Amino acid sequence: MSSVQDRAQHTISQIDKELSKYPVLNDFERQTSVPKVYVFLGLAALYTFLVFFNIAGSFLTNFAGFLLPSYYSLQALFTRGSTDDTHWLTYWVVYGFLTVFESAVNAPYWFPFYYIFKFVLVLWMSLPITNGAQIVFRSFLEPLFARYFREPGSASANLRAQANKTM
C-alpha cells in the first residue's frame, strides 16, 4: 500500500506530464526556473479559493464553464467526424439550461456555497474524461424533451433524417 505522499507525488508527475505537452509552459518553466506543475497547482488553488469564498465566484465559474469547452468546441468544428460535435453541442445545451435555471431560481441567494458546487459541476460536465454533460442530458433533459423532438413523422424527425442523409 502506497503512502499519501507517494500518491501525491505520482499525481504531480502525471499533471507535469500532461502540462509538458504545451510548449508555452515548457518555455515558461525554462525561463523562470519555476516548475510548471507548481505554477499550475498554485493558480488552481487560488482559483478554487476565490470561487469558494465567492470573490467574483459568478464570473470565475462561468469563465471555467466557457473557456475549456469553447476550446474543445472550436477544435471539434475543425475535425471531420461528427461525434465530437455532438458531444460539445450536448454540453452547450446542458450548460445553457443550467444557466437559465440558475437565473430563474436565483440559486446563489438560496444555496450557500452555490458557486463551488456549480464550479465542480461545470468541470465534471466539461472534462472529456467524465462525460458529465451527456449523463445530465440523458438523465434529465432527454426525458423532458424527447417527446417533442422524436415523434415519428414529425417535422423535426424528418429534418433529422434529411440532415443525416447529407452527411
CA neighbours within 13 Å on the CB side: how many for 36? 19
Report the alpha-carbon distance of residue 91 to residue 65 in Å, rounded: 10
Q: What is the pLDDT of residues 109-118, one digit of tens each?
A: 888 889 999 9
Residue 161: per-residue pLDDT:
59
Phi-psi region of 14 (alpha: psi -120 to 50; beta: other; left: phi over 0): alpha
Residue 157: per-residue pLDDT:
53
Residue 112: per-residue pLDDT:
86
Q: What is the pLDDT of residues 54-71, one digit of tens each?
A: 999 999 999 999 998 999
Question: Which residues of the chain have a pLDDT value below 70?
Answer: 1, 150-167
Residue 147: per-residue pLDDT:
81
